[in-house]
């Protein structure tokens, strides 16, 4: 087996965990590739790493990606891997770790992974198209796409249509569009539903809506949503994809959201189902 290893380089616990991952996988017939820039973050580089120029080269060479860090590290690795249809194994060295199949304090599941004893779980990704005049830009969201105002000084109007039919005009701080994977992230904190990652759907949740009847809506995965801001005098809104600010949204901008042509692939080990992880991570947080 060949794996590409990526880690959260600004956290000492993630770097330490990644070093132990290399040692554990070194007991098996596993070749480990790592971006040279990340490998240089080890105080003492562990034996067994083959440095490559970057993620593109490493992912092309590998059978799977191993991501060490929090959920952010894991879903960004999944975004890098999806175009090459490579699965990602997440190892939690952060806080919640909903996407992880192993914890930093117990790397024994890596033995099963190295032996090929795992399943691959495919998950929906959002394709987000931003049309401004004749220009169109395309982005992909593993977790969520958020259209929101930049400050707390005003209320925005955001119009959402599904297949041409009006869903609603939301006077709110913004709107979150989440995948099932992202249902346990920002969407959850805004009051959105939790979705089984196997469900083919996308969810919309208003942010601080100025209405007593604004609720989350779950759309079938084959629906196409069009989002605009109808107020010509409104301040600029911003589109954020998976936590990264991407583009401005003004009157006349059309943001189209649909199921992407890609899927993310996550390694799932026996005994670590979504509901097992959900119960484990949400204990004491109700």
Which residues carry out catalysis? 71
How many Cβ atoms from other residues are within 10 Å of residue 23's Cβ? 14
Cα separation, 126 vs 179, in Å, equals 7
β-pairing verdict for 135-141 and 119-132: antiparallel
CA distances from 43 to 12, 18, 182 (A): 10, 12, 34
End-to-end CA gap in the chain: 41
Cα 256 from Cα 227, distance rounded (Å): 6
DSSP 8-state symbol, 93: -
Task: Determine contact, residues 265/85, Cβ cutoff 8 Å.
Answer: yes
> Is residue 80 within a helix (H) or strand (E), and if so which, with residue range?
helix 71-82
For the residues of 125-150, what is the DSSP string, one character each? EEEEEEEETTEEEEEEESSEEEEE-S
212: left (phi over 0), alpha (psi -120 to 50) or beta: alpha
Distance CA 249, CA 55 (A): 30
């Amino acid at each position: 087996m060949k794996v590409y290893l990526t880690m959260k380089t600004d956290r000492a616990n993630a770097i330490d965990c990644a070093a132990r991952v290399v040692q554990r996988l070194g007991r098996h017939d596993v070749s480990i590739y790592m971006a040279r820039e990340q490998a240089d973050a080890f105080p003492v580089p562990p034996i067994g790493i083959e440095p490559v120029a970057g993620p593109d080269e490493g992912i092309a060479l590998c059978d799977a990606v191993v991501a060490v860090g929090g959920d952010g590290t894991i879903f960004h690795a999944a975004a890098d891997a999806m175009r090459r249809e490579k699965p990602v194994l997440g190892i939690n060295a952060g806080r919640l770790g909903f996407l992880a199949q192993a914890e930093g304090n117990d790397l024994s599941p890596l033995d099963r992974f190295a032996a090929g004893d795992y399943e691959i779980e495919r998950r929906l990704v959002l394709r987000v198209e931003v049309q401004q005049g004749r220009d169109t830009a395309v982005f992909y969201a593993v977790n969520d796409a958020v259209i929101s105002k930049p400050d707390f000084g005003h209320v925005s109007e955001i119009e959402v249509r599904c297949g041409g039919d009006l869903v609603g005009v939301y006077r709110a701080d913004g709107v979150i569009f989440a995948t099932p994977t992202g249902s346990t992230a920002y969407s959850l904190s805004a009051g959105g539903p939790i979705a089984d990652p196997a469900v083919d759907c996308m969810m919309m949740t208003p942010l601080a809506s100025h209405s007593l009847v604004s609720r989350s809506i779950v759309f079938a995965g084959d629906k196409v949503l069009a989002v605009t801001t109808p107020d010509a005098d409104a301040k600029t809104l911003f589109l954020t994809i998976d936590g990264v600010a991407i583009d401005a949204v003004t009157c006349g901008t059309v943001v189209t959201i649909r199921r992407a042509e890609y899927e993310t692939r996550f390694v799932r080990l026996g005994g670590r189902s979504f509901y097992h992880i959900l119960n484990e991570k949400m204990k004491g947080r109700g």
